[in-house]
Structure 1
Amino acid sequence: MIHRIVLVKFAEETTKEQLQEVIDRFKALKNHLTGIVEIQAGFNIAEKSKEYQVVLSVRFEDQAALDAYVTNPEHQAVAAYIREVGRVDSIGVDFQL
């Protein structure tokens, strides 16, 4: 199993409603992709890394499922929305469970 964690930083102009929409769209990916064991998304509540407002956590069955996720049109649409509403930076890590 592969676990991916992504932190996303947005512009100051990005609204709370837009951030919530990002979270909702992340969560909805589970309905459109195979190979996802679990997906969670939410607001970052850690004081030391507050500049990254949204956190995504996804567990994939295997590397093939992760690879399919990255290029999937549904995932690409979410990525486009994130850029549209003010993505400034993101940090992602993947690790084997």
Structure 2
Amino acid sequence: MVKHIVMWNVRGDTPEQKKASANLVKSAFESLSGKIPGLTKLEVGLDVSAVDYACDVVLYTEFESQESLEAYASHPEHLRVKEVVGDIRIARHQVDYV
């Protein structure tokens, strides 16, 4: 199993705008559930701490194998979601581990 974690900071001049952006990222990634072969778990969380160093959104996923994670990167549904998220994010951090 490979765990794939991604965190983003999103655009927004006000807390309400940031929350709307974060919710859009959340719903976009949640739409992938059941559509990606080898993706066995998907969770999206929104930060509730509001500390200045926190990321706004976290994606936690589990894949059956490294190959399924690699296939996810170019899957049409994932590419669609990346397009939605592209203009919304201002920073991205990632960790993959076995």
Question: Of 20, 37, 42, which aligns to 1:39?
Answer: 42
Q: What displacement does 1:15 show?
A: 4.1
- Determine which structure has the larger helix proportion and give its number: 1
Q: What displacement does 1:48 show?
A: 6.3
Question: Quick one: which amino acid aligns to residue 91 of structure 1?
Answer: H
CA-based RMSD: 1.6
Question: Of 73, 86, 89, which aligns to 1:70?
Answer: 73
Structure 2: runs of 5+ lacking an equivalent: none
Determine whether 1:49 maps to 2:53.
yes
Question: Quick one: which amino acid aligns to residue 62 of structure 1?
Answer: S
Q: TM-score, normalised by structure 1?
A: 0.85
* Secondary structure of the structure 2 residue equivalent to 1:77: helix
Question: How many positions carry a matched residue from both structures?
Answer: 94
* Secondary structure of the structure 1 residue equivalent to 2:37: coil
Structure 1: runs of 5+ lacking an equivalent: none
Q: Which runs of 4+ in 1 moved over 6 A?
A: none
The 2-side partners of 1:88 and 1:58 are apart by 21
The percent of aligned pairs where both chains have the same amino acid is 27
- Give the conservation status (yes or no) of the 8 Å contact 2:43–2:59: yes
The 2-side partners of 1:9 and 1:49 are apart by 10
